[in-house]
Structures are given as C-alpha cells and as structure tokens.
Structure 1
Amino acid sequence: MNKAAIILLSLILFSVCGFCQPFPIKSVLSYPFPSQLVSSPSGSKIAWAVNEQGKRNIYTATAPDYQVMKLTSYNEDDGQELTSLSVSDDGKWIVFVRGGDHGGRDGGPVNAGSSPVAPKMQVLSIPFAGGKTITIGEGDYPVIAPNSKDLIFSSGGQIKIAAIDGSSPAKNLFYAKGNNSGYKWSPDGTKIVFVSNRTDHSFIGIYKDQSTPVQWLLPSFARDHSPAWSPDGSEITFIRTQGLGRETDSILAKKHQPWAIWTANVITGEGKQIWKAPTTIKGSYPSIEGGANLAWAAGRIIFSSYEDGWPHLYSMDSKGRNRLLLTPGNFVVDNVKLTQDKKTIIFAANTGKDKDDLDRRHICKVSVDKGDMKPLSGGLGIEAYPVIAGDGEQVYCLSATAQRPLLPAVLQDGGKIRLIGEELIPADFPLKHMVIPKHISFRAADGQLVYGQLFSPKNPLKSHPAILYVHGGPQRQMYLGWSPMDYYSIDYGLNQYLVSLGFTVLSVNYRLGLGYGYDFHKPLNAGAQGASEYQDIKAAGEWLSAQAHVDPKRVGIYGGSYGGYLTALALGRDSKLFAAGVDIHGVNNRFSANTAEAKAPAPDATLAAKIAQESSPVSYLKTWTSPTLIIHADDDRNVSFSQSVDLAKRFEDKNFEFESLVIPDDTHHWMKFSNGVKVSEATAEFLKRKLFGN
C-alpha cells in the first residue's frame, strides 16, 4: 500500500472512529459531588451533602475509622438541592434545607422536574446517628440554638423558631419590619442578633423575649450588616456601609466604597467606630466570598481587606488598636473559618511551594494574634472549604486532583490527605483517561498577562481543532484540577471529554477573575464599561491558533453566564478567529433604555450608555457569521431568559441560521443532573460537528 493510500485510509478510519472516545460524557459527569461540609462542635464528626447523578443526600463519618454513613434516602433526580447543613452543639442532630437555588438571585422553590405538584423549600432535621427525617417547616437558613433543642430560620423575611426534634410546630419568634436575616444566637442562647434590611438602609437588632422591645444598635442612615457576638456575649461588632441613594457621580469612573467596623455594648447600647477602611479604591468593601469575614475571636476582631491589592486577613483588639496583617503575600485568602476555641483561623489560599499553585487552592492556618501562617496541605491537588473538628484535633476539607473529582478528606501530619467516601466514585468513572492540564500564560494586546490551563490530547493529531473555554462569574478562577464548585466541575468534566474527542482545550482565566490581585480582579473599562476583558479572550484564541498541531481555522469557543457573554462577543466581533461557538445563558445586551433613565442624573450617562451598547454582543450582528448554538433554561435566576429570546429574535430578523436548546423549568445551575448532561452533550456534539465536520 502506497503512502497516499495509507493517509487516505487513516482519514477514513478517523472519520469513522475518531469520536469513538474511550468514555461517554455521562460517565465523566457521574462523580459524587460533595458540598456543605460541616463538622460537629463536639468530637470528630463530619457531615456533608452529596449529589450523585441528581440524587442528593446527606452523609456522615466519624473518627477514627471515618466509615461513611448515608442518612437520607432521596432517590430521584428532581432538582432539589440540599443546603445550610449544620450539626447541633451536642452532636446529636443535623439540620438542613431541601429545595431552592441558593446560587441564584431568587433562592425560592425550584421545579426543575416540571412536577404538577409545586415543590417547597423546607427546613428539616435528622438524628446524626440515623433515623427519620423531620420536617420543621417551610423556610430557609436555619441556625441551631446553643441548647441543641431549638432552631430559628427565615420565612418570608421574618424569623421563626421551632423544636429541633419536631415536638413543637414552628412559630413566628417576633416581628420586625423589613427583610430579616444574618441572625445569630448569643453565646448563652438567651438573645438573637439580626439584620433588618429596609431596602436603602439596614439596622442591627437584638431580640431578647416577647415582653422586651427589639433593641436597635446605633441606628443610622447607613446599611449595617455582618454582626458578630463577642465571646462573652456582652458586645456586638458589625460593618457599616453607606445607605443606598440616587447615583449622581460619574458612572464610568471608579469610586471608593467606604466601610467601617463598629462595636456596640449590648447592655448600654453605646458604641463607636473602631476602624475605618482606607479611602482608596483598593480599600473599598471587599467584593469576595465572605465579604469582610468579620468575626470576634479570642481577644481580637478579625476581618478581610483588599487594601494592599490582595484579599488578606487582619486582626485588631476590640478598641481597634494593634492591627496586624495575618496573611502577607501575593495570594488570595478565602473559605475562612474560625476554630471552636476562637484562637486559630483556617482558610484556603492559592499559594504554596510550586509556582503553579497560583492556579490551585491549599489549606493554611494562622493564629488570630500573630502572623504565624502555616500550610496544612500542598502538592498538586486542590483543597478547599476547610472545617475543624469540635475537639480541635482534625482539619477536614474537600480535596481533588487533576484526575480525581472532589471528595471529603482529613488533613494529616506532613500534608498527607486521607480521603473519605472514595468508594462512592462509580466503577465506570474514566479516571485513567483524565488528562493533567498545564498552567500557561500569555499577553493580551494591551500587555495584560493572562492565565489559563491547557488540556492536550494524549495522542494529538496533526492540524486538529481546538476549543477555548470561558468561565462565568466573572470573579471565578479555574484550577489545575476539578473545581470545588458544582457548576464548574461539570465544565471541567466537559473539557476532559472534549480532549478525549481529539480537541485541544484552553480554559482561560481572564481579567475580572479572582486569584491574581486587585488590578486583575477589578480592571479598568471592563464589562458594560468597555469590555476590556475581551482582549484576554481574543488573545487566548490567537494563542491557541498559533500552537503546533492546531488548525487555526478550526478554533471554537464556549462558555456559560459571563462566559456566555464573552463567547457571544467573540463570535460577533471575531468570527474569522472563532469558527463556531456555544453561548450558554449569556448576557447578550448590556444596555437598556430603563438603565439609561435610572442613571440619567450622572454627568456621563449618555457616554456610559453608548459604551454599554458597544460592549454588547448584539451590536455586532453584521460581523457575526460563525455557527452558533444558544442554550438557556427558562427559570434562570442569574441571567434573564429574555437575553436569549432577544438574541434569537435578532438572528431570525437577520435570517441568520442558528441552533438552540431550551430547558423548561430549570435554573442557571442545572439543578437536574439529566439537564446538565443534556447541555454538555449538546455542546460537545455541536462543536464536534462544526469543527471536525462529522
């Protein structure tokens, strides 16, 4: 057989078998996803929720053997999430919420399964040792009392109280105007502090009993929030930010968002400001997970601040003196937890011995009164969401690698990790077929350094297609391994599947994302103010196109949410670079007449509206020629379904052929496993068909 014939036969075989990937997409998404990891305030016991192909249940494990025990028996892929897990102080009860979408702006009931019977959001309890699940009532965000007998929860903006064992029905604890949240029991369980949100201002209130009026602490025209009790229950610390008013300053200019920390005496009601954030842009209230992470530790008040360009932990005494930077360095601090004795903080950070730890998370600890930060984990894995046992002996976290999905784990001496529940990973999960992504970086047109993870096929074909994956958020950061967030773990699995098909995949961490400092996280002229972050997307596409073995004419793109927005912008602005794309519940129009009217008093309102329009994908329909698949669920609580309705209508008016997938009744987060699989399959099939041509 001559050389030409061999090449022809190879092409024929690839066209037939090139997509006979070693595993189906469902298998790589069938991992048991753990979340809501909590520890018992007493002993060494943990509980967590597990999503097993849409069947969400609660599991427990206890030292020293950590034998996994399944407590609940929810056996349907019905889209009902489990959240707000907590364990009573005596270790005998677990309380949780079933239902809702807590990742959306409206956390109310979800009917992703299109059930004729409307689902509810319910607070439930179950004995830690196992037994019957008890329905406490409809509501959200339960908090167990120190006596381990009662709990409070939110219902319709008011606070209810109930017996944890269901022996007495839930009833309104008290009435307070506004939407009441952020409630916490006093250390002795005799009082409750809460936040009364009244739209443009909010108060800190203390409830004692039915015969005592609610005590309002230092009420003002501001928004007070994040209250925390002193260890002895005599004082409250809280954060004060400005009240909401009509914006009359420039829309486009960066503005400082002032905030301060206050304390108040619970007995006298007297209080004062003990610390004020620097009046700089970086000193603004930190827009990170946990916000300022305010807590009253042993003899110190701890909080997070972005003032030095990185979100770090600080502590000071109760008078605001002797402030200490606890976590110096160029890294992010998140998942912050205070130990039971209130002397130590544990947290996750993207720092370690390996230079690529920039794109990982490891667990660290630091004392509340000195900068003695110490790593508790390291290596090539991802560790996040730490908790510490009630006895202070063990630290737990969620652990993943580039190949193994997330599992609960015990952190042992020397940074060793003991996995819990490894047996829950299905036998057909394609662990051995997972590739290990490589950390890369490159420059955008304006010189900005951009980061990413490159997934390469194990046996790449010459001149094969490539895919650019764009995460949402946009404040998220993708890692060199499975994400500890459910939504992005699905995308990580899809990227692994696309690699198995023969694509090279680049996951890009563009400016606006967390992990690389304030200036990267909060860039100039981003989003509706100029979409400067799109430069990173274009640079990523050009970088991919220039790689050996990649066909520059067959580079595709996909992303969801903010990633959908940037995908649409890429297809509209640069169809010659991006040959096809999938816009998953993206924001396609950043401008509306109502927005302009609301901003009318601002001196640059007209200019801001013009820039917002220019930052919108719908402004580039004339140059949008690449094949496009639009995907959206119509109960989306994060990005309005109307964004895709509008784009589809514009395409139809233009006679531009496009494809679509609509998911009735589900939300932004694919609450049903089957819908997550359907979306991933549709994305992969579309990109395969358009870029491989079969």
Structure 2
Amino acid sequence: MLKAHHSLESPVMRLHRLLALSLSLAPGLISTAAPAQKPQPFTVADALSAPFMNQLTAAPAKNRVAWFVDQEGIRNVWVASPGEKAHAITHYNQDDGQDIDDITWSPDGERVAYTRGTGPEGSEHPTAANPAHLQEDVQARVEIASVGGDVRIVGEGHSPVFSTDGKRIFFLRSGRIFAADVMNGTKQPEAIVIAKGTATALRPSPDGAKLAFVSRRGDHSFIGVFTFAGKTLTYADPGTGHDHDPVWSNDSKRIAFVRESPWITELDLRWMRSVPVPWSIRIANAATGEGTEAWHADKGTGSLFHEMVAKNQLLWMADGRIVFPWEKTGWLHLYSLMPGEQGPKLLTPGDFEVDNVVTDGERIVYSSNQVTTDQNDIDRKHLWSVTTSRNQPAAITKGETIETNPALMSDGSIAHMQASVHGPFLPQIGERVLVEQLTSRFPGSQFGTPDMVVFPASDGLPIHGQWFLPKNAKPGDKLPTIVFFHGGSRRQMLLGFNPMQYYAQTYELNQYFVSRGYAVLSVNYRSGTGYGMEFRQAPNYGAFGGTEYLDIEGAVKWLKAQPNVDTRRIGAWGGSYGGYLTALALARDSADFAAGVDLHGVHDWSYELDLWKPTDDPDHNTAAAAAVAFKASPMADVSKWKSPVLLMQGDDDRNVLFGQTVRLAAALRANGVEVEEKIFPDEVHDFLLHKNWVKAYELAADFFDRKLKNR
C-alpha cells in the first residue's frame, strides 16, 4: 500500500526538509540550504516563485510518468521513472504566454504529445492568445517530444492522442479530425474524417481498427465511429440528446456513452437540481451503430448529470462492469453497473466528493475530501482506491498534506502529486519525490498554517473558510484584515496549496498578506464544490438572486467577533467570480469593507449572460430573468458604493466580458468613487504571462497597504 510520507517524519517536518534540499536537476529550480537565521521579509515575486506542476500522466509502458512544469512562466514537459532522473524533455526558456496542455503518452512510453499555445477554439475570439505580443503567427499546435529530448512540431491543432499501435497521432483542428505519421516528420497531417458538426473527444478502439469521437451539433450531439480499413463512418445509436464521453469495451465491439436531455441550456445548468428526463448510459454495437439504454438515473436528486474530474466519465472495467459518477445521494460518488443486471452498486459511500479518477481496468484510484479521524480533511484531498468487488474503499494517503492527480504506472505502482501548507504540488512515485527542488528564494517555510473555521451565513447555512493569522500576532492585536473570495464558483480552497494554478497563486498571495501583518479569511461560499449538490446548486445563487451575499454577511459578523480583527480596516479581494463577490461586498457594504481589489469580476449578470436575448421558450419571461440577474449584481447597488477599489483585467478575456470592467469603472467615477485600474492588453482571463500575475499582485499588495495601513 502506498503511504503519504515517511513513517518517522510528520508531514510538516517532511515539507520543511524538502524546502531545504539543494539539487541541480534544472536551472532555475535550484534550492540552496542556508544556515538557520531569522526569516527575512519576502516579496510578492518570491511568494509566486515556486514552480507549478500538474497533469501527471503515466505511460502505458516503460514505467514512466510525465508532467507539466511552469517555472515563473517558463513552461516545459518533464518525465521520470523509478530508474531514471527527472528531466525536462522540452526546452522552452521564455515567459512567452504559450501554455502547454493535453499531455499524452505513446503506447511504447518513448514519446509524449501535447498542445502548445492557447487557440481560439471554444472562444468567441477569432485569434489565438498572444499576451506577449510575439511578432509571429501564434496558434495552438500539436508537438511530440521524445524521452531523449527531441521535439517535433506536428502542426496546428490540439487534443492529440496516439493510435493504438503508436504509428500515428490523431488531433483536432477547427473541429475536424487530422492524423499525422509519428515517425515521418516530412509528411503533412491530413484530415481523415469528413463529417458535419464539431469533433471532440477522440477515442481509438483497443484493437486499433476504429476511432470514436463526439460530434457536437448545437442542440444535440452524436457519437461517431470511424473505421480505418473501409473509411466508413457510423453513428452510435443517434438521438435528440447530448451524447458524450464514449468508452470502448475491451473487445472493441461495443461502445458506451452518456446521454443527457437535449433542452438543458448552460444557463439552466447553473441552478437546476433535477431534470424531467434523467441522464442515461447507452451501449451501441460499434459496427452497426444499433444501441439500447443500459441504465438511466432516477428522477429527482442525481437526475442531472454532474461530471467528475477524469479523462472519461465512463470506465469500462476488465470484469465487464461500467463505473460512472452519480449524485444520487447528493454527493458525487462512483457506482458500478454490470450491463444487463438490475441496478448499480455504490462504491464510495459517505458525505464527500470524488475527483481525479483513474483506473487500470482492475482498480480505481481517486482523490476525495472524505473525513475519517480528522475533521479538517473535508478541506483537504487524499488518495483512495476501490474495486468493483470490494465493499469499502481503502485509504492510500492521509495526514496534513494534500494528495491528488493519481497516475497508475505500468508496473502497478501509484504516482501522484502532493502538497502541504508550506510547499506546492510535487510529483512522487510511492514515497519517492521526483522533483524535490524549489527556487532558492521561495519562502514556503515561512508560510503560516491556516485554521479551518465554520461560521453561519446570515440565513444559517454553514460556511467553511481558512483563517490565517500572522505568526507573531498577540491576543488583542487589532490587525488589518482581508477577506478572500475564490473564483469559479465551482471551486474549493483547501488547508494548503490548491491543485489549480490560479488558486495556488492566490494562496501564495494570501500568505504574503499574512507575512505583512494582515489577517486573512478565505471563504468557501455557497455554489462552490466539496460540500455536496445542495451546497453547489444553492437556491437563488449568482444570476438567480445572489444568495452568496448572505455568506458575505456571515463572514463580516464572524470577523467582528474575532479579537484580532480591526473592524475599521477590513478589505476584500478576489478574481472572476471572486471579483463579483468583492464588488458585491463593496457595493452593498462599504461601511464594513474599507477597500477592495477586483480582478476580472462580473458586475452585471444580465450583460454577461446576455439575458435580454429572445428565446423560443413560451414560458420564459426574458425581462423578468434579466431584472433578477441585474438586481443580484454589483451594478444594481453602485450608487451606495463608497470604498476605493482597484480594478484589473486583460482585454482579451475569454471568460468574462472586458466590458464588465469598462462599465463599472465609468459608473463608479461618475459617482465620485476612487478607482484605480490596471489593464493588461491582449491578456486572457487566467493570465498567461507570469510577469503579469506578479505585477497584478504587487499592485494589489500596494493598494491594501495604502488603504488599510495608510502607507
């Protein structure tokens, strides 16, 4: 059984040891052990200097893993195995804003394919992102790197996947499926499927004879099955629903997929708890396309499909069972189904949520916030394993660390990412940490340990948060205090580093604030994840009434009862959805919030969601919906806004309309409110340039120092 840490060391001791190690695996990732001395103040840039690592992926052979490393904006792919030193197989050396994603292995474990660059697909913007203003044709492209470090550009596209024999690579370009020869770099990629719709989710069959994919067609989608030998295309059990996440049977003769009701819009999914027609699992003959329903969810709780964090939502196991996620109990859990038998079996019972699910066909490994003996684990993640025959899941890791992103290696061992209060996520195999080095100036050893707190919202709903106090704070010290709201809103901040880069950096900034003498309360408000469907789909939240404001009120009441809080010096900050809540707090409660920093927040839901657009639903009252959304927005109360604010956004934002910041800034200035702003030309929502994150956070820190400390 894999253990989380050495038996003779506590998790905190071990992370301190890692932070002091001095290795020389790569320039820029070297740590230098220094004699013990009084900790020196650190900067925002220091706090953000730790490398961010994720996308840990196991090779089908050679017992190797690959992962993504972002070292202050310099992004590369790394590989390692138990018998070889971790090393980069790509060699990019600039903070150029070109991201790396979709890391996937060749069947022989000798090559890694990935997408480099952020393209326009899935965005209203017609061009690829280029925040560094590179004077070249920037586009998302597929690349292949060998374990030895040779890199080849395959061509424009994204989402690569190797053929079963490893000789070809398939990828997507402008909604079409392309193929390229892996070994012959002189041969140009070619389109291989002629079909209507937009193709996604490429899935080669185990025998290599076919390729399944999703064909999106607006108000419905199909599962396409392309046969290479005859160049024929068949659709699996086509209907009027949204079909997605195809998975092959082990013998390549059948294909299973999820079908959802066709009329559910993205806006509806934000608030619905159930649907009239529950989602289902269907199985089709891969050759003929004929299919039937294998199972459908019950009406009521769980009738609305909610995905898990996994490469595929359906797992076809070696014993013939299909494992899938379901919220039947109000919590996201794993179930197994033997087609033809009655009813699925619950594999992961309890009040917690599963995510990061992987399988080798025999066992399932996942992370969750299940509580066993430590109540704080509801705000952590640990690894668990289960099989379709075992009655109870088995814990793999535990303690004060955080584990996620498991990867099942070809020899059966488990690799994963581990983080703590003091250090970011690092990859490890068993107990061996693959990359133990951090930047020499990263001040993680000085980070404070947050406490889990639970306070009532003004309507009584329990709200979780993380409470940070400076290490030298004395009882009765009245400290300037900052309330942090995460984005999403489908997110959960943890008692330590977050596995998402955006929130790992917000955690680092909160730790910087604490080092500067601030108290910080990070709020896991309603509509976030980790606490079940009822909490996530909270009634009347966001554009449907803004009930998260009740959590803001509860946070203020809780803070006013804390002996270390100077109630005259409370600030708020957050990005995206957290920017919305920051603006809502300032608009409605300027008497409680002295200042705020709002990054790319939503300020008018009716404008953001285009709620005035006509609909063909005769029962939909467009004007009423827009009025409710506007009333739930900061713009509705802008006349009461008195507190100074710093607004920041990139003007190539593809998640939140840039006009949100334009309109709010104009309205506030018209009312005489003090507004500072920082705009990043050609930057997207989740900034692609590390230097822009550093600049934005430096400005935030300076702003709070001036407004809450009068400096």
Answer whether TM exceeds 0.5 for this pair: yes
- Shift of residue 292, structure 1, vs aligned partner: 7.8
Match of 2:671 among 640, 649, 654: 654
Distance 1:267 1:31, change over 3 A: same
- Shift of residue 101, structure 1, vs aligned partner: 6.7
The one-letter amino acid paired with 1:182 is A
Whether 1:152 aligns to 2:165 is: no
Distance 1:109 1:371, change over 3 A: farther
- Shift of residue 579, structure 1, vs aligned partner: 0.8
Q: Give the structure 2 partner of residue 203 of structure 1.
A: 222
Whether 1:679 aligns to 2:680 is: no
Q: Give the structure 2 partner of residue 447 of structure 1.
A: 460
Match of 1:612 among 607, 614, 629: 629
Q: Indicate the larger mover: 562-571 or 160-169.
A: 160-169
Q: Does the residue aligned with 1:309 lie in a helix, a strand or coil?
A: coil
Distance 1:92 1:670, change over 3 A: same
Whether 1:305 aligns to 2:320 is: no
- Shift of residue 632, structure 1, vs aligned partner: 0.5
Q: Does the residue aligned with 2:208 lie in a helix, a strand or coil?
A: coil
Distance 1:374 1:103, change over 3 A: farther
Distance 1:104 1:647, change over 3 A: farther
The one-letter amino acid paired with 1:147 is D
Q: Indicate the larger mover: 492-501 or 360-369.
A: 360-369
Q: Give the structure 2 partner of residue 325 of structure 1.
A: 346
Query: 1:225-268, CA deviations, whole angstroms, 9 ceiling, x for partnerless residues?
Result: 11100011010001111224799999987552621100011234
Give me the whole-angstrom Cα distance separating, in 1, the residues matched to 2:592 and 2:45. 31
Q: Give the structure 2 partner of residue 348 of structure 1.
A: 367
Give me the whole-angstrom Cα distance separating, in 1, the residues matched to 2:196 and 2:317. 31
Distance 1:146 1:361, change over 3 A: same
Q: How does 1:50-65 map to 2 (within 5 A)?
A: 50-64=69-83
Give me the whole-angstrom Cα distance separating, in 2, the residues matched to 1:679 and 1:175. 46
Give me the whole-angstrom Cα distance separating, in 1, the residues matched to 2:530 and 2:267. 32
Q: Give the structure 2 partner of residue 261 of structure 1.
A: 281
Distance 1:356 1:165, change over 3 A: same
Residue 589 of structure 1 contacts residue 613 of structure 1 at CA under 8 Å; is this kept in 2? yes
Give me the whole-angstrom Cα distance separating, in 1, the residues matched to 2:670 and 2:688. 33
Q: Does the residue aligned with 1:214 lie in a helix, a strand or coil?
A: strand
Give me the whole-angstrom Cα distance separating, in 1, the residues matched to 2:103 and 2:595. 42
Q: Give the structure 2 partner of residue 142 of structure 1.
A: 160
Query: 1:411-450, CA deviations, whole angstroms, 9 ceiling, x for partnerless residues?
Result: 3xxxxx4321112x11111122111111000101111000
Give me the whole-angstrom Cα distance separating, in 2, the residues matched to 1:34 and 1:247. 31
Whether 1:132 aligns to 2:150 is: yes
Match of 2:545 among 530, 538, 549: 530
Distance 1:85 1:247, change over 3 A: closer
The one-letter amino acid paired with 1:144 is F
The one-letter amino acid paired with 2:573 is Y
Whether 1:470 aligns to 2:485 is: yes
Whether 1:690 aligns to 2:710 is: no
Q: Give the structure 1 partner of residue 95 of structure 2.
A: 77
The one-letter amino acid paired with 1:617 is P
Whether 1:187 aligns to 2:206 is: yes
Whether 1:456 aligns to 2:461 is: no
Q: Does the residue aligned with 1:38 lie in a helix, a strand or coil?
A: strand
| Percent identity of equivalent pairs | 38
Q: Give the structure 1 partner of residue 614 of structure 2.
A: 598
Give me the whole-angstrom Cα distance separating, in 1, the residues matched to 2:120 and 2:481. 34
Distance 1:273 1:558, change over 3 A: same
- Shift of residue 211, structure 1, vs aligned partner: 3.9
Q: Give the structure 2 partner of residue 410 of structure 1.
A: 429
- Shift of residue 368, structure 1, vs aligned partner: 2.6
Give me the whole-angstrom Cα distance separating, in 2, the residues matched to 1:204 and 1:513. 31
Q: Give the structure 2 partner of residue 112 of structure 1.
A: 131
Q: Does the residue aligned with 2:256 lie in a helix, a strand or coil?
A: strand
Match of 2:581 among 546, 560, 566: 566
Structure 1 runs of 4+ with >6 Å offset: 101-104, 245-253
The one-letter amino acid paired with 2:452 is H
Give me the whole-angstrom Cα distance separating, in 1, the residues matched to 2:658 and 2:454. 34
Distance 1:250 1:541, change over 3 A: closer
Q: Give the structure 2 partner of residue 275 of structure 1.
A: 295
Give the count of matched residue pairs.
664
Whether 1:553 aligns to 2:573 is: no
- Shift of residue 690, structure 1, vs aligned partner: 0.3
Query: 1:197-223, CA deviations, whole angstroms, 9 ceiling, x for partnerless residues?
Result: 111111111111374431111111222
Q: Does the residue aligned with 2:602 lie in a helix, a strand or coil?
A: coil
Structure 1's unaligned 5+ residue stretches are 1-19, 412-416
Give me the whole-angstrom Cα distance separating, in 1, the residues matched to 2:551 and 2:654. 27
- Shift of residue 369, structure 1, vs aligned partner: 3.3
- Shift of residue 106, structure 1, vs aligned partner: 6.3
Give me the whole-angstrom Cα distance separating, in 2, the residues matched to 1:406 and 1:252. 33
Give me the whole-angstrom Cα distance separating, in 1, the residues matched to 2:493 and 2:469. 16
Residue 247 of structure 1 contacts residue 601 of structure 1 at CA under 8 Å; is this kept in 2? no
Give me the whole-angstrom Cα distance separating, in 1, the residues matched to 2:659 and 2:268. 30
Q: Give the structure 2 partner of residue 381 of structure 1.
A: 401
Q: Give the structure 2 partner of residue 234 of structure 1.
A: 253
Give me the whole-angstrom Cα distance separating, in 2, the residues matched to 1:660 and 1:218. 53
Residue 614 of structure 2 contacts residue 622 of structure 2 at CA under 8 Å; is this kept in 1? no
Q: Give the structure 1 partner of residue 392 of structure 2.
A: 372
Q: Give the structure 2 partner of residue 5 of structure 1.
A: none
Q: Give the structure 1 partner of residue 337 of structure 2.
A: 316
Q: Does the residue aligned with 1:67 lie in a helix, a strand or coil?
A: strand
Q: Give the structure 2 partner of residue 335 of structure 1.
A: 356
Give me the whole-angstrom Cα distance separating, in 2, the residues matched to 1:524 and 1:69. 49
Whether 1:37 aligns to 2:52 is: no
Q: Does the residue aligned with 2:232 lie in a helix, a strand or coil?
A: coil
The one-letter amino acid paired with 1:383 is E
- Shift of residue 397, structure 1, vs aligned partner: 1.0
Match of 1:47 among 49, 66, 80: 66
Residue 205 of structure 1 contacts residue 215 of structure 1 at CA under 8 Å; is this kept in 2? yes
Distance 1:471 1:104, change over 3 A: farther
- Shift of residue 596, structure 1, vs aligned partner: 2.9
Query: 1:298-347, CA deviations, whole angstroms, 9 ceiling, x for partnerless residues?
Result: 110110001111000000112253521000011110011111xx011111
The one-letter amino acid paired with 1:587 is V
Residue 630 of structure 2 contacts residue 636 of structure 2 at CA under 8 Å; is this kept in 1? yes
TM-score w.r.t. structure 2 length?
A: 0.90
Residue 285 of structure 1 contacts residue 291 of structure 1 at CA under 8 Å; is this kept in 2? no
Query: 1:583-606, CA deviations, whole angstroms, 9 ceiling, x for partnerless residues?
Result: 110000011495134357335544
Distance 1:418 1:249, change over 3 A: closer
Q: Give the structure 1 partner of residue 115 of structure 2.
A: 97
Q: Give the structure 1 partner of residue 604 of structure 2.
A: 589
Q: Does the residue aligned with 1:68 lie in a helix, a strand or coil?
A: strand
Distance 1:321 1:105, change over 3 A: farther
The one-letter amino acid paired with 1:662 is I
- Shift of residue 407, structure 1, vs aligned partner: 0.6
Q: Give the structure 2 partner of residue 622 of structure 1.
A: 639
Q: Give the structure 2 partner of residue 16 of structure 1.
A: none
Q: Does the residue aligned with 1:490 lie in a helix, a strand or coil?
A: helix
Match of 2:555 among 534, 540, 562: 540
Give me the whole-angstrom Cα distance separating, in 2, the residues matched to 1:555 and 1:81. 36
Q: Give the structure 2 partner of residue 294 of structure 1.
A: 314
Give me the whole-angstrom Cα distance separating, in 1, the residues matched to 2:338 and 2:696. 51
Q: Does the residue aligned with 1:544 lie in a helix, a strand or coil?
A: helix
TM-score w.r.t. structure 1 length?
A: 0.92
Q: How does 1:434-513 map to 2 (within 5 A)?
A: 434-460=447-473, 462-513=477-528
Residue 308 of structure 2 contacts residue 356 of structure 2 at CA under 8 Å; is this kept in 1? no
Match of 1:363 among 383, 408, 421: 383
Q: Give the structure 2 partner of residue 414 of structure 1.
A: none
- Shift of residue 349, structure 1, vs aligned partner: 0.3
Q: Does the residue aligned with 1:557 lie in a helix, a strand or coil?
A: strand
Query: 1:563-585, CA deviations, whole angstroms, 9 ceiling, x for partnerless residues?
Result: 00010000000111111001110
Residue 301 of structure 2 contacts residue 327 of structure 2 at CA under 8 Å; is this kept in 1? no
- Shift of residue 370, structure 1, vs aligned partner: 3.3
Distance 1:473 1:104, change over 3 A: farther
